[in-house]
Amino acid sequence: MEDINEMAEGSRRQLTARAVVAGMLLGGFMSLSNLYVALKTGWSIGVSITAGILAYAIFAALLKLRVVRRAFGMLENNAMQSVASAAGYMTGGGTVAAIPALMMITGTVMGGWQMFFWITSIAMLGVVMAIPMKQQMINVEQLRFPTGIAAAETLKALHGEGEGGAGKARLLGWGGAAGACVAFLRDAKAPWMPWNLPEKLQIPFMRLAGRPLADYTISFEGSLIMLGAGAIMGFRAAWSMLLGAAINFGVLAPRLYESGVIDPKLGYKNIVAWSVWFGSAMILTSGLLAFAFQWRTVVRAVKSVGAAFGGPGDGESAEVPMLWFFAGLLLLSPCVVFLEWFLFGIKPWMGVLSVFLGFFIAIVACRATGETDTTPTGALGKITQITFGALAPANITTNLMTANVTGGVGLHAADLLTDLKSGYLLKADPRQQFWAQFFGVLAGSLFVVPAYRLLIPTADVLGTDAWPAPGAQTWKGVAELLAKGFHTLHPTAQAALAVGAVLGIALVLLEKAFPKYRKYIPSATGLGLAFTTPAFNTISMFCGAGIALLIERRNAAAAEKLVVPVSSGFIAGESLVGVLIAALVVAGVLR
């Protein structure tokens, strides 16, 4: 049971030094997993609940070993989750979307210090932007923020009974060990290793248009990451992606190859140079239309946030003061505008406009997250791209990096409100969670930037089988289209763009018209993403989702306890060892 004294001393025993250190380390390592996975799949993995389970298990073990003298309390773990969550989502600052998209277009690599200050300033501005929204959206309107509720319930279970948390931690550990083992046996190439696991398992004796299936990226990947990602993402998104991969790589690519439209070298990079237009158009139109259907959310968001400027009511003196919001804006806004000008040559007035838009996008992102548990950063970023595509039609850099600002601000504001929802339910101090986010932002940047520079040493590796960067492909496609114009595309690509745009709209309308049959309607995001993702990734994710579905149908209770911890372990173990091996290759220990 939670120590009664801890509850009485909650304001002093929440953001402790060990909570900060544990959150920075756990969140930092998870940010590496998110970076690794997002550059391969375009998806990000949740951080806070996994970090809470791990921290509980680690400190319980340390207490038994008498390394620490005091149990890791529930509110302390909640503060740790805020640090870890902010760190884990530092990939939202642009390292898996806008920055690699810009690198693919320009062929230049962003410097480490420049990247550090860029993503850190955007994330901190997003944290500040959330201040006016907390009291209205969480205290007054009681928006759900489902992930925040789940995180709070997990902490209550861990620190109340504890048995479930220990079991999940063990499963996560076994999954991590399996993922690490697979990554090492596959990637660690050295003279003393007699053999390695194959990176791809090809399908023999089958050809398309006279070429092996592997030339179309149709193979099985020697990885557990994609199995885990598929299990977490759910079956509808996974089968939608498999359908898209079958159409793109199994039907369209062979015909386009025979027609001479696609480079005869084939492979992911050459196929996606054409298919990205179909996928990007579908993701763009479906995202914007789905967002438009939430117009009531937008109206409520804009109206309600004004109430926050009235100051806290009686008994709410612990709320983050509005003075901190204005001070943060005065400090961070000029930093972001300066970096936009200094790093990317963006005109200062456009930089100011991007910060202004960022505030309203943060409002909408927070409310959408509170109501649906989904932060529509993709659609919101595209709104900025379209806006600056009109203001600076030929400037791809301005287009990408202003959208990077607004999307990043919205993501980090929504992340803080999700954490504050957990704290609100647990009666934590929101001021301490506010500062916890800043520690997390710094930790995430310190982990993500060196790892990105290590994994992506040159622009040439982006858009390849190793690092497909599907999310960046979409940002790149939209930016190029707005800059160069529709007429510059190959006629078949023009047709693909038009068909993808119409299909994206049609699928959203079908969902709205037949909500009972939603699970049978392809996900527009999943279907579109398949056109920017190698088929071997999609096949593995579908297998993972299928296994999770079978377990759920056999025993739903067991699936709830088993699927997420084991899958998260696969992802964490393999991605962390993958980053470690990359570092050892650079150091000359491995080749």
pLDDT at 367 over 60: yes
* pLDDT tens per residue, range 462-508: 988 888 888 788 788 888 888 877 777 788 988 988 999 899 899 98
Is-contact 420 513, C-beta < 8 A?
A: no
CA pair distance 581, 50, nearest whole angstrom: 24
pLDDT number for residue 568: 79
Percent of the chain with pLDDT over 90: 29
Q: Which two tokens stand for residue 54?
A: 């791990």
pLDDT at 312 over 50: no
CA pair distance 467, 198, nearest whole angstrom: 17
pLDDT number for residue 162: 45
pLDDT number for residue 374: 62
CB-count burial class (<10 Å; 0-12, 13-18, 19+) for 80: buried
pLDDT number for residue 376: 62
Is-contact 536 466, C-beta < 8 A?
A: no
pLDDT at 384 over 90: no
CA pair distance 76, 99, nearest whole angstrom: 35
Which has the minimum average pLDDT: 43-47, 91-95, 375-379, 519-523? 375-379
Secondary structure (DSSP) of 310-375: G---TT-TTSPPHHHHHHHHHHHHHHHHHHHHHHH---HHHHHHHHHHHHHHHHHHHHHHHHHS--
CA pair distance 423, 545, nearest whole angstrom: 32
pLDDT number for residue 588: 72
pLDDT at 304 over 60: no
Half-sphere exposure in the Cβ direction for 248 (13 Å, CA): 37
Q: Which two tokens stand for residue 282?
A: 């579908």
pLDDT number for residue 510: 93
SS3 506: helix
pLDDT number for residue 10: 41
- With a CB cutoff of 8 Å and minimum separation 6, the contacts of 291 are 368, 376, 379, 380
CA pair distance 326, 363, nearest whole angstrom: 16
CA pair distance 27, 25, nearest whole angstrom: 6
Amino acid identity of residue 193, one-letter, is: M
User: In 382-391, which positions are buried (b, 16+ CB within 10 angstroms) versus exposed (e)?
Assistant: bbbbbbbbee
- Give mean pLDDT, residues 242-246: 94
Domain ranges (residues) in the chain: 4-170+289-307+324-474
Q: How confident is the model at residue 7 (pLDDT cuts 50, 70, 90)?
A: very low
Give which of 462, 484, 483, 465 is closest to 473, Cα–Cα: 462
pLDDT at 306 over 70: no
What length is written for the chain?
591
Question: Between β-strands 211-212 and 207-208, what pairing exists: parallel, antiparallel or unpaired?
Answer: antiparallel
Q: How many CB atoms lie within 10 A of CB 297?
A: 17
Is-contact 101 461, C-beta < 8 A?
A: no
- Give mean pLDDT, residues 15-40: 89
Is-contact 135 308, C-beta < 8 A?
A: yes
Specify which of 5-19, 46-60, 135-149 reaches the highest per-range mean pLDDT: 46-60
Give which of 356, 487, 439, 342 is closest to 127, Cα–Cα: 439
Which has the minimum average pLDDT: 34-38, 192-196, 528-532? 192-196
Per-chain mean pLDDT for the chain: 83
User: In 92-110, which positions are buried (b, 16+ CB within 10 angstroms) versus exposed (e)?
Assistant: bbbbbbbbbbbbbbeeebb
SS3 content of the chain, % helix, strand, coil (to 5): 75, 0, 20
* pLDDT tens per residue, range 103-113: 999 988 899 99
Helix axes 396-426, 98-106, angle to 10 degrees: 160
